[in-house]
Structure 1
């Protein structure tokens, strides 16, 4: 289903399949459409995978994002919630 706010639908869908959040996939695909994929790939640093984070760090991130009900979740479910918020 096309979304008018997404400028590069194919890249967005590929990023979502890789496990990126909707927000991150939209941000990357729109930046690539505006500036070109090669310039976007050079920008920014490296962020570790949520799998490498502690449960405390994951809960803090969930709090920062304004998620609710995360305190009762297992690590795997918490990671899933963060990726799909």
Structure 2
């Protein structure tokens, strides 16, 4: 069933089939529809490794993307939550 808030349904479904969360799949699909797939894919992978970040850096990243319960999470839990988001 088409979702009016998703701009690239095909890409959204492909990402969901690969196991991405609904939010992440929608974010990527909508960005590729408005900016172009090449531009979106070119910037992918430029972020540093979560394993190399401090707990404070991970906390700020989790806060930015809206992960709930982050204040009580350990560094490993923050990494897992961000990877699963």
Asked if TM exceeds 0.5, the reply is: yes
Equivalent residue, structure 2, for 1:53: 53
Deviation at 1:58, TM superposition (A): 0.8
Are positions 1:40 and 2:28 aligned together?
no
If asked which structure has higher relative contact order (CA below 8 Å, sep 6+), I would say: 1
TM-score (norm 1): 0.56
TM-score (norm 2): 0.56
Evaluate the alpha carbon distance shift between residue 42 and residue 59 of structure 1 in structure 2; reply closer, same or farther with a 3 A threshold: closer
Equivalent residue, structure 2, for 1:73: 73
Which ranges of structure 2 fall in alignment gaps of 5 or more residues? none
Which ranges of structure 1 fall in alignment gaps of 5 or more residues? none
Write the distance in 2 (CA, Å) between the matches of 1:36 and 1:65: 23
Q: Deviations over 1:13-71 (max 9, x none)?
A: 4445365782x432321232245423433457811243432222111222334544212
Write the distance in 2 (CA, Å) between the matches of 1:33 and 1:43: 15
